[in-house]
Structure 1
Amino acid sequence: MKYTVKPEVFELSENLCFGIIVARGLKNTETSDEEIERLRNAEEKVRKLVPEAELKTQPVIEGYRTVMKKAGINPNKFVNSLEAMMKRVIKGGSLPVINSLVDLCNAISLENQVTLGGHDLADIHTDLSVGFTKGGEKFLPFGATEYETVEPGELVFTSGDVVQTRKWIWRQSELGKMTLETKDVFFQLVGFGDSPGSPLSNALDSLEEILHSKFGGRWERYIVKKEQPEIQF
C-alpha cells in the first residue's frame, strides 16, 4: 500500500513534513489511572504555558492556519484538531477518556503541540494520499451512518475515493476510529521540519516509546516531505 502527499500540497508550505508510523499487532486496553494522569498533566501544561489570547500564534498552530488559508479553508470556521483540543483545555475543559491508545495519542499531541491522527487499518483498503479532491469523494462523519459527498478542491486525507480527514486536519471520519479492537494503525503527524528536537520528531519518539512500552506489536517509522513525497508500507 502507498501513502502519497501530492506536489500541490508542498506548494502551500515547502517545510511541511508528515511523520508516519505504521503499527501492526497492537493490543489496546481501557485507559489506566496512570495514563489518565498523563493526559491531565498534558492539559495542565497547556493551560500554564499558553494563554488563550496567544493560542493562534503558537508556531505550529500558526503554521497550520497559514496552510489552511492558502488551501482555501477558513481556519476559524474549520479549526484544526490540535487547536481545537488546546482551546478546549485552555478554557478549563478536559478531554474525554476513550481508550488507552486514543488517550495517550492525545497526551502526546498536547505535550508536543503537533496534530496526531490514528486510523485503524481494518477500515482502509486502498492507497492513501493527501491532496485536493476532484469531486464526488465520500466522507462518513464521526458517529454518523450516512456518507456525505465532498465538493471538488478540498484539501483532504483520503483512502481512494473515501475521505479519512476533511479540511486537511480538521475532522476525522467514523471509518478508521481507534477502538479496543484496533490492532493495526496508520498514524499521521504533521509538522514543519523534522530535525532532532523538533515538535514532530519529539512526538514521533514519544509515540514509538508508548508502542514499545504499552501496546507491543511491530511498527515502521517514515518521514514524508517535498524531497520524498511517497512511501510504501
Structure 2
Amino acid sequence: MQNFTVDESFWELFPEAEINILVLNNIQNRANDDEGKYEQLLADAQIKAKEYLTEEVFSQNPVVAQWREAYTKFKTKKGARSSIEALMKRIDQGKPLGSINPLVDIYNSISLEYALPAGGENIQKIDGDLHLGIAQGGEGFLPLGAEVDEPALPGEVIYYDQTGAVCRCFNWREAQRTMLTDDTTDAVLVIEALNPEQKARAQKAILRLKELVDQEFAIDSTAHVINANQPSATL
C-alpha cells in the first residue's frame, strides 16, 4: 500500500498550507468520440480564469503575486514559476490552452476556474511512497520533453519518491517518469493552497474535480485533505 506524505520540513516553511488530493483507480484515460467536450471544458475555464486577472500589471494580480512570494522561501531554479502563473500568463496573452488527455484537461480546467496550482501523477509509476518536502539536492529528474537529467537543488520544494523527484518547485515541472498518459489507469490529482483564501477556493475545487472525474470515468474517486495536523493519506 502506497502513501502520500507531506514532510515536516515543508510545514516549517508553509504551516498554513493545505494539499487536496484525489485518488482515482481503474480508469481509461482515453478521449472518446466526443473529443470536443474537453476543448469546450477548457474554453469555459479560460473565460472564468480572466476574473482573477484584475490588475493591469500581470505580476500584481494576487494569483501571481502570492505564489511568487511563496517561491522566495525556498531554493528555485532561475525562472521557475508556479504552474498557475504559467496558465494565467497564457490567458493574459490570449493563447488558448489545447487538449492533452482527459485527466490533464480536467485538472487544467479546475486549475483555471479556481486559480490554483493543480497536477497529477500516475500511481503505478511512483516508486514506493510519494512525498512533498524539501530536496536534499541531486534527486534525479527528467522533465517532460527533455533528454538530460536535471536534478533537484538543495532546499527546493519537490514531490519525490524512492527513485527521485516527481515534480520540482511544487508543480513547476513534471517528470516524464510519472506523467499522466493515455495508458494511465490509477492516478493521484493534487490541488495546492497556501493561505486561508486559497484554501477556501481549494475546498470547492476538489469537490468540482471529483464531480468531473467521477462522471467522466464512471468511478467513485477518493478525496483527502492534507495539512499539518493530518500530513499523510493512502493512495
TM-score by length of 1: 0.89
Question: What is aligned with 1:131?
Answer: 133
The answer to whether residue 2 in structure 2 is matched with residue 13 in structure 1 is no
Moved over 6 A (4+): 194-197
1:3 maps to amino acid? F
Within the candidate set 216, 227, 230, 1:228 is matched to: 230
Q: CA RMSD in A?
A: 2.3
Question: CA offset at residue 7 of structure 1?
Answer: 1.7
Preserved CA contact (<8 Å) 2:49 2:115:
no
Amino acid aligned to 2:136: K
Deviation at 1:220, TM superposition (A): 1.5
Give the distance between the partners of 1:54 and 1:227, measured in 2 at CA: 37
Please list every run of 5 or more consecutive structure 1 residues that lacks an aligned counterpart in the other structure: none
Match of 2:35 in 1: 32
Secondary structure at 2:100 match in 1: coil
Aligned match for 1:179, one of 153, 167, 181: 181
- 2:95 matched to 1:93? yes
Query: Counterpart of 2:117?
Result: 115
Structure 1 residue 158: deviation in Å?
0.5
Over the matched positions of the two proteins, sequence identity in percent amounts to: 27
Could you say what secondary structure the match of 1:47 adopts?
A: helix
Tell me the SS of whatever aligns to 1:21: strand
Q: How many residues align?
A: 232
CA contact (8 A) 2:135 2:155 kept: yes
Q: Residues of 2 paired with 1:72 and 1:149: CA distance?
A: 13
* Distance (Å, rounded) in 1 between the aligned partners of 2:23 and 2:196: 18
SS of the equivalent of 1:119 reads strand
What TM-score does the superposition give when structure 2 sets the normalisation length?
Answer: 0.89
- Which stretch has the larger CA shift, 201-210 or 215-224? 215-224
Q: Aligned pair 1:72/2:48, yes or no?
A: no
As a proportion of its length, which structure holds more strand? 1
Deviation at 1:58, TM superposition (A): 4.0
1:136-165 superposed Cα distances (whole Å, 9 cap, x missing partner):
310011023443333322211101241111
Separation of aligned partners in 1, 2:85 and 2:13: 19
Per the alignment, do residues 205 and 50 of structure 1 end up closer, same or farther by CA in structure 2, a change over 3 Å counting?
same
